[in-house]
Amino acid sequence: MTDVQILQCPGCKEYIASDSERCRFCSRPLDAQTIQTAVAAQQNENKKYRRGHYMKYMLTGLGLFVVGLLITVGTYAMAASSSGGGHFVVTWGLMLVGAGNFLYGLAGVIGETFSK
């Protein structure tokens, strides 16, 4: 059994299966070289999309973590400098969600780097 992949038809840009002999939308004939080139281009495009997706998770995670850390440090500094003591806020949720998103994105980027 062969591995069927998805590619864009060079003629009409519709998505078709790689085991097709001709495009089902525009009836353009497809030879092995055209299919191989189109599959490679589609795989490259998919990889770039996934890498960008994981980078967005890393950046938003880092941003959330930094915001949570700044809130925690800022409120602690205000409470510590207060003459009567004071209260401060520890934003565990924001920092944990940020760290989780960052680690998810990092694992994805590393996985995409070492995949074929």
Buried (b) or exposed (e) across 29-45, using 16+ Cβ within 10 A? ebeeeebeebbeebeee
Distance, in Å, from the CA atom of 23 to the CA atom of 41, rounded to the nearest integer, reads: 17
- 60-111: pLDDT as tens digits: 999 999 999 999 999 999 999 988 878 999 999 999 999 999 999 999 999 9
Beta-carbon contacts of 15 under 8 Å, excluding residues fewer than 6 positions away, are: 6, 7, 8, 9
Given a cut of 90, whether residue 2 has pLDDT beyond it is no
Given a cut of 70, whether residue 1 has pLDDT beyond it is no
- The more confidently predicted of residues 116 and 51 is 51
pTM of the entire predicted model: 0.78
N residues, the chain: 116
